[in-house]
Structure 1
Amino acid sequence: MAKSDSYSYFKRTSLFWLVVVTVYVGFYTWMVFWPQDVPYGSLGPLGALAKHLVDNHYPLLYYGWFLMWVIHLFESLFAMKICSDKGIDSTSTRLLWFAQTFLYGFASLGLLLKYKPDGRSKRH
């Protein structure tokens, strides 16, 4: 990577995390908003656990769903600070980091935290 590339550094999270987080958030959303439609019996041990949580801890699931998105929002805002600290100044690149971190959380933020820009392009 050239020294000036930190201006627009972006790396997409791995396909593994894209799939895992999408399936998890999708299933969690399904459990919270349409629990009557989840085929618990067809999901084996996961279905039994999901049914137990819906039946016995629904308020925790419901508020936890909103908390999950608040946490992702704060991770995204933290990603903006990290972009600034690492000299990533391109608006479109920063928006990519924000969106990816909002949707995939630490799977995205971890890539940004690992990034080591050239010392000359880093701001203090």
Structure 2
Amino acid sequence: MATSDGSDYFKRTSLFWVVTITVAVGYFSFIVFAPEKIPFDHLGPFGSFCRYLVDNHADLMYKGWWAAFASHVGESVYSLKVCSNKGISSPTTCFLWFFQTFLFGMASLGLLLKYNPKRLKKH
């Protein structure tokens, strides 16, 4: 089996986080940009709470959406710095970390931060 120097280390985010974050961000986006498409009446107490937020705090929800977007952009840019610090130099791998972190935030960045290239080297 070929060994790697760690310059192309990549680990995919777990399916749990992919599904959870995709659904949550998608729902949040619909609440902010297309609340008329959401059947709040069919969602029980959660729908009532979301309807309350849309009716009474739409501006705060809008700002919160952009804050979450900015956070994901910041995390993804930071992932490039972490890649550099950890010796991950493959442009393709750095792009994968950047893109995955943009989509899934800390669920991805946490995997990168946990990576310890010194531990993987064999002497």
Scaled by the length of structure 2, the TM-score of the pair is: 0.92
Partner of 1:72: 72
Partner of 2:7: 7
Give matches, 1:1-124, under 5 Å. Answer: 2=3, 4=5, 6-118=6-118
Q: Distance in 2 between the 1:114 and 1:76 partners?
A: 16
Q: Distance in 2 between the 1:85 and 1:45 partners?
A: 46
Q: Aligned Cα RMSD in Å?
A: 1.7
C-alpha contact 1:8 1:88 (8 A) present in aligned 2: yes
User: Shift of the alpha carbon at 1:37?
Assistant: 1.7
Count of matched residue positions in the alignment of Structure 1 and Structure 2: 120
Runs of 4+ in 1 over 3 A off after TM superposition: none
Deviations 1:80-100 (A, max 9, x none): 110000000000000000000
Mean CA deviation greater in 21-30 or 37-46:
37-46
Structure 2: gaps spanning 5 or more residues:
none
Q: Secondary structure at the match of 2:20?
A: helix
Scaled by the length of structure 1, the TM-score of the pair is: 0.91
Q: Distance in 2 between the 1:72 and 1:33 partners?
A: 18
Deviations 1:10-63 (A, max 9, x none): 000000000000000100111011111210011122211111110111000011
C-alpha contact 1:7 1:88 (8 A) present in aligned 2: yes
Percent identity between the two aligned chains:
50
Q: Distance in 1 between the 2:3 and 2:117 partners?
A: 10
C-alpha contact 1:53 1:61 (8 A) present in aligned 2: yes
C-alpha contact 1:3 1:118 (8 A) present in aligned 2: no
Structure 1: gaps spanning 5 or more residues:
none
